[in-house]
Every structure is written in C-alpha cells, then in structure tokens.
Amino acid sequence: MREPSFDHAPDRAMGDLLRQALDGPAPEAFVARVRSAIGHDGRETSWDVLGRWAPAGLVAAGVAAALVWMLLRPAADPRDNGSMLASAPVQMEVTPQQAESDVLTATLLEGR
C-alpha cells in the first residue's frame, strides 16, 4: 500500500516564499495576483450566486409551467369548432319595459 503524499508538517520553502512576497515592498500586488489566479476579486456573496443561477432558473420554471399547463388543461372536444359561447342555450327576450341589465342578470342566474 502506498503512503499518502500529503504531509501535515509546514513546508519551509513555501513558507519562506510566501513570507518574502507578503513582507516585501508591495504585498497588495502579490495578493491581487493570487486573487486573479484564483478567478475572483473579493468575496462572493449569495446575491452573486443567485445572479448566476437566475437565468437558468427562470427558463426551468417556464418549462415546468408549460408542462404542467399541458398536462392539466382539460382536453378539447374534437367536434367543437369554438363557436359555442355557453354550455347551455340561453334565450333572451328584451321588452321595452325591462332594463337590459335586468334581463342579462336574470338570464345568467337562471343557468345556475
């Protein structure tokens, strides 16, 4: 069995190089080079993470909503051509002595 290559003891050569870079005339330049090598400046906040994931999340939510709509909508009758406005036929008779809104209200309530 192979021994692990990780050694928990301090690395003196690496420590000396870091100490020289950080104690030198421009430690800020060294820190900036290290941060640019890592790929980000400063600390990343949770808003930064959410900002990166938001476009993909919106697309996924849209796809999920479309799938739910397609699966849960009532199936259309193939014989229906879209000309029928109500499920029950309604007969309206407008006479001069009745206001038109009363007839509409009574007609709508009769269908209940």
What does the pLDDT profile of the chain (112 residues) look like in tens digits?
A: 567 677 788 889 999 998 988 898 888 988 888 888 887 656 778 888 889 899 999 999 999 999 999 888 876 665 655 554 555 555 555 555 655 566 666 666 765 5
Torsions phi, psi of 24, nearest 5? -70, -170
- Domain that includes residue 17, residue range: 12-41
Asked if residue 20 belongs to a domain, the reply is yes
Query: Do 36 and 16 fall within a single domain?
Result: yes
Query: Do 47 and 59 fall within a single domain?
Result: yes
Total domains in the chain come to 2
Asked if residue 53 belongs to a domain, the reply is yes
How far apart, in whole angstroms, are the C-alpha atoms of residue 71 and residue 65? 10
Whose structure tokens read 């993470």?
49
Query: Do 57 and 37 fall within a single domain?
Result: no
Residue 58: strand, helix, or coil:
helix
Torsions phi, psi of 63, nearest 5? -65, -45
Asked if residue 57 belongs to a domain, the reply is yes
Asked if residue 1 belongs to a domain, the reply is no
